[in-house]
Structure 1
Amino acid sequence: MPAIDFFIINKQFKKLLTSFFIFLLLVLKVEAQSNSDSAYAMPLKEVLAEVQQRYSITLRFDSSLIDGKILPYARWRYRADVEETLKNILAPFDLMARRDGTKRYKIGNYEYYRWQPQDGWAELDRIAAHYNNLEEWQHRKEKLKSCLLHALRLSKLPTYPLSKPIETPVRKYRGYTVSNIAIEILKGVWINGSIYRPDKIKGKVPVIMNPDGHWQDHRFRADCQLRCAAFAKMGAIAISYDLFGWGESELQFKYEDHRKALAQTIQILGAIRILDYLLSLKEADTSRVAITGGSGGGSHTILMTAIDDRIKVSAPVVSVSSYFYGGCPCESGMPIHLCEGGTNNVEIAAMAAPRPQLLISDGADWTDKMPEHDFPYLQKIYQWYDRKDHVENVHFPEGKHDFNIEKREAVYRFMAKHLGLNMNAILDRNGNIDESDITIEKKTDMYVFGEKGERLPAHAVMGFDNLRKVFEEAIK
């Protein structure tokens, strides 16, 4: 009996001891979460679960952004406003939450290029305080131009290869022709595009550059072909061209190379070389030069206009905003926005003044509030030149982030007005835009070097590392 009693007592003691240790661990855990010795730390995953319950919201996120992260002073970050709470919680990890519907938010990496409208407006007001008259503005404009070129590493342009552009045979359509072209901008590096010309050219004609944004198929898209062909029917030479690392550029470089900072420099260099070529044509009117692009192509449009005085008319589409700096490194990868104590895309757009400029905005993206603050700023700059009528804003509050027919029509009419184009060439008998007789070509028809690059010259540079070496050598 005594032996049995000892066994029972020993077993009960072990159970009590185990329970005590479990209780102690729980107490220590609670203490660790609820005092300053451990900085009131909690796993971020638990905090977000608690936030969803407390504020009756839904959060979407990739678990790889959250797992393993510990948030100090977790519950001290809560506020009455859910968005302020999320900002306090996520900022230490360079994360942010964006509204994704009613009571829904998506968590992602911090976006340096996307601000709240009120923050963008405040920054534009701070920038504008640098100048109060035309003389002061002109002084800042010149300094900005110099700094932009320096930031792009293009203060001294790279050595220009002396090769002739490679152009495909002309394809003839009703009222216009098309051919494809590749221009060597660095040794072994080309920028590719398609040139649309009037079917009959008499005397000097305007030229219009058409960079585009990050929409699928880029210059091969139907709306890009329609726009360039319409310009040609109206009497201009129009060229569309690839972003770096997109389109035929992918024959030499990977798609992900487009998201490297130097992509912005290579794209601008390509545009400068395209303009060099266009203005060398005997039929080109150097006094009537324009550029228009949408989205990322709009960022490209304002930057090219700011640094190249040869451009006389510009029309950035669904792009310019004081609270959006360009979400791709091809728009903001080089430190252009740090110039002269800080600038933004609205001030860069203002550098076009007094040259005619049309800004198209819509209600579905970061241009949604263009008429409220950003456009009045631009009007003030143009007013200093007595050219307030040279800057226009066409706003589509129900519009989407695209370059659709209503936006193309606004651009057509603006270009016709300032370049002396024949608007009647694209109107039907009722005065409406008619693009129905424009031929949409197959993607493969628009290649210079072939679908698989079979016609690439033997000295073509392959890969981003080799491109960087070529660029560094060319700017010595």
Structure 2
Amino acid sequence: MKRILMIVGLCWCCWTGAVQAQNSDDKYRVPLKDVIDMLEARYDIQIKYDESQVKDKWLNYAKWRFRPDVDETLRNVLGPLDMKVNKEGERKYKLKEYEYYRWEPQDGWDYLDYLAAQYQDKASWESRKQEIRADLYKALKLSPLPSLPESVPLVTKKRKFTDYTVENFALEILPGVYINGSIYRPLNSKGGVPLVMSPDGHWFGHRFRKDAQIRCAMLAKMGAVAVSYDLFAWGESGLQFDYSDHRRSLAVTIQTLGALRILDWMLADQQIDEERVGICGGSGGGSQSVLLTALDDRIKLSVPVVSLSSYHFGGCPCESGMPIHAAARGTNNVELAAMAAPRPQLLISDGHDWTAQMPEHDFPYLQKIYAYYGKADYVENVHLPEDGHDFGYSKRKPVYDFITKHFRLDTRGLKNAAGDYDESRCVIEEETALYAFGPNGENLPSNAIKGYENLEKLFKDQ
């Protein structure tokens, strides 16, 4: 009996060992690094990568994913691992993590064509627009809008400069949640003043950057009120939330709500001309400009700078962290930008980011939508093929020109005979001078919440 049991035991061990071996082999797993070697040898290509990108990564059914076409093969191989390659030259590629927000240009154009096929005239487009807008508010957890806190905004003393003033503010947008910024005003305004909202982008230095201060100061010198404000968890918002919280889903919700609250507050000032309200931001600030204009008809003019593309959805959760692009069965940023029609809109694009092909497909689509209203000339594109992703003077100049044209600003004494603007008399302040809560955060209100988990609690019933 012992002998029989021992034989049965040995057989069981052998059988289970065989099963375990089969279970580890039946998916024909191959280390990713080996797969890359096979790809390079078979297709005569070069794939650059860091060791950390391939460490401990395996691919199931690796050899069955190969096809005659190298690009199809790369998609088959890397897709299951949430990875991709960027083409860097003839037969040269670079391995990257999958970028949910970045498509191939042709894919973006095809999708925009698919969206455009859903409307053929002003009436069908207006129906589509209203459907998108309602879904955007729901996607942002802002339907209905949260109740407005009854606190009085904190506003610092004005600082006077040549032809303009600056004051900082902190505005409570949810219980214990504040948005901070600075207001640039014309020195001697007498009423009926245009307003330009200026959301920040993702460049280092935030709204305290030299170019951000110059742009707002110049608009004030021309006769507009310019409001520059922080991204969520950046700038003074960092007193309440960690810098890493900016890359969490509620970032887009808080930034949108903050902009709406600022707009409400500024339009309560009878000095502001409600028929001349614009928004202008670059990069991530451009994405905010597009979204706010799509949401709110009180915005009468929009200028997204180096941001808009049908094949780029915004690589930060503050642009795409909530399902706004799933609105109305799916949309993209260019269709959202079309919701500005027939309000004036200037698109500034460059040759070295995802806006590089704006004139080829996206801009003609927008012209078509504007033509539904007989306003095709109200959307413009300034394309700078030699420029990169920044908000330098080459971008600021067309911003000034466009806002001046539509809002009737006064540029006397600010331009030379060649049409160039003199920005030299704009004062660049130290960062701490632009704080509303004081140099060390000493004026942070006592009810200010801290930590993302406490922010989430405010939306728990949404």
Give the TM-score of the pair, scaled to structure 1.
0.89
Q: Please report how far the alpha carbon of residue 133 of structure 1 lies from its aligned counterpart in structure 2 after TM superposition.
A: 1.1
The code of the aligned residue for 1:42 comes to: V
**Following superposition of structure 1 onto structure 2, how do residues 72-471 of structure 1 map, counting pairs within 5 Å?**
72-79=60-67, 81-100=69-88, 104-428=92-416, 430-471=418-459
Q: Please report how far the alpha carbon of residue 79 of structure 1 lies from its aligned counterpart in structure 2 after TM superposition.
A: 4.3
**Equivalent residue number for residue 11 of structure 1:** none
Is the Cα–Cα contact under 8 Å of residues 60 and 105 in structure 1 kept in the other structure?
no
Q: Which has the larger radius of gyration?
A: 1
Is the Cα–Cα contact under 8 Å of residues 45 and 92 in structure 2 kept in the other structure?
no
- Residues 464 and 199 from structure 1, CA distance in 2 versus in 1: closer, same or farther, beyond 3 angstroms? same
Whole-angstrom distance in 1 between the partners of 2:70 and 2:411: 52
Is the Cα–Cα contact under 8 Å of residues 61 and 108 in structure 1 kept in the other structure?
no
Q: Please report how far the alpha carbon of residue 80 of structure 1 lies from its aligned counterpart in structure 2 after TM superposition.
A: 5.1
Secondary structure at the aligned position of 1:424 is classed as: coil
Whole-angstrom distance in 2 between the partners of 1:75 and 1:401: 40
Is the Cα–Cα contact under 8 Å of residues 195 and 224 in structure 2 kept in the other structure?
yes
What is the RMSD of the two structures over their aligned residues, measured on CA atoms? 2.0
Whole-angstrom distance in 2 between the partners of 1:109 and 1:62: 13
The code of the aligned residue for 1:61 comes to: D
1:60 aligns with 2:60: no
Secondary structure at the aligned position of 1:453 is classed as: coil
- Residues 100 and 164 from structure 1, CA distance in 2 versus in 1: closer, same or farther, beyond 3 angstroms? farther
Give the TM-score of the pair, scaled to structure 2.
0.91
Whole-angstrom distance in 2 between the partners of 1:249 and 1:416: 32
Q: Please report how far the alpha carbon of residue 98 of structure 1 lies from its aligned counterpart in structure 2 after TM superposition.
A: 1.9
Secondary structure at the aligned position of 2:219 is classed as: helix
Whole-angstrom distance in 2 between the partners of 1:73 and 1:418: 60
- Residues 335 and 390 from structure 1, CA distance in 2 versus in 1: closer, same or farther, beyond 3 angstroms? same
Whole-angstrom distance in 1 between the partners of 2:438 and 2:162: 25
The code of the aligned residue for 1:386 comes to: G
Is the Cα–Cα contact under 8 Å of residues 204 and 285 in structure 1 kept in the other structure?
yes
Sequence identity (%): 56
**Following superposition of structure 1 onto structure 2, how do residues 42-53 of structure 1 map, counting pairs within 5 Å?**
42-53=30-41
- Residues 367 and 302 from structure 1, CA distance in 2 versus in 1: closer, same or farther, beyond 3 angstroms? same
Whole-angstrom distance in 1 between the partners of 2:265 and 2:93: 48
The code of the aligned residue for 2:178 comes to: W
- Residues 200 and 102 from structure 1, CA distance in 2 versus in 1: closer, same or farther, beyond 3 angstroms? farther
Whole-angstrom distance in 2 between the partners of 1:229 and 1:178: 8
**Equivalent residue number for residue 6 of structure 1:** none
Whole-angstrom distance in 2 between the partners of 1:132 and 1:364: 33
Is the Cα–Cα contact under 8 Å of residues 306 and 349 in structure 1 kept in the other structure?
yes
- Equivalent pairs counted in the alignment come to 441
Whole-angstrom distance in 2 between the partners of 1:239 and 1:437: 19
Structure 1: 5+ residue runs without aligned partners? 1-27
Structure 2: 5+ residue runs without aligned partners? 1-17
Secondary structure at the aligned position of 1:426 is classed as: coil
Is the Cα–Cα contact under 8 Å of residues 47 and 95 in structure 2 kept in the other structure?
no
Is the Cα–Cα contact under 8 Å of residues 287 and 312 in structure 1 kept in the other structure?
yes
Whole-angstrom distance in 2 between the partners of 1:445 and 1:70: 53
Secondary structure at the aligned position of 1:409 is classed as: helix
Is the Cα–Cα contact under 8 Å of residues 302 and 314 in structure 1 kept in the other structure?
yes
Q: Please report how far the alpha carbon of residue 467 of structure 1 lies from its aligned counterpart in structure 2 after TM superposition.
A: 1.2
Secondary structure at the aligned position of 2:215 is classed as: helix
Whole-angstrom distance in 2 between the partners of 1:293 and 1:62: 38
Is the Cα–Cα contact under 8 Å of residues 233 and 425 in structure 1 kept in the other structure?
no
Q: Deviations over 1:269-307 (max 9, x none)?
A: 000000011111121111100000011111100110011
Range 85-94 or range 281-290, more displaced: 85-94
The code of the aligned residue for 2:416 comes to: D
Whole-angstrom distance in 2 between the partners of 1:103 and 1:139: 46
Is the Cα–Cα contact under 8 Å of residues 28 and 61 in structure 2 kept in the other structure?
yes
Secondary structure at the aligned position of 2:382 is classed as: strand
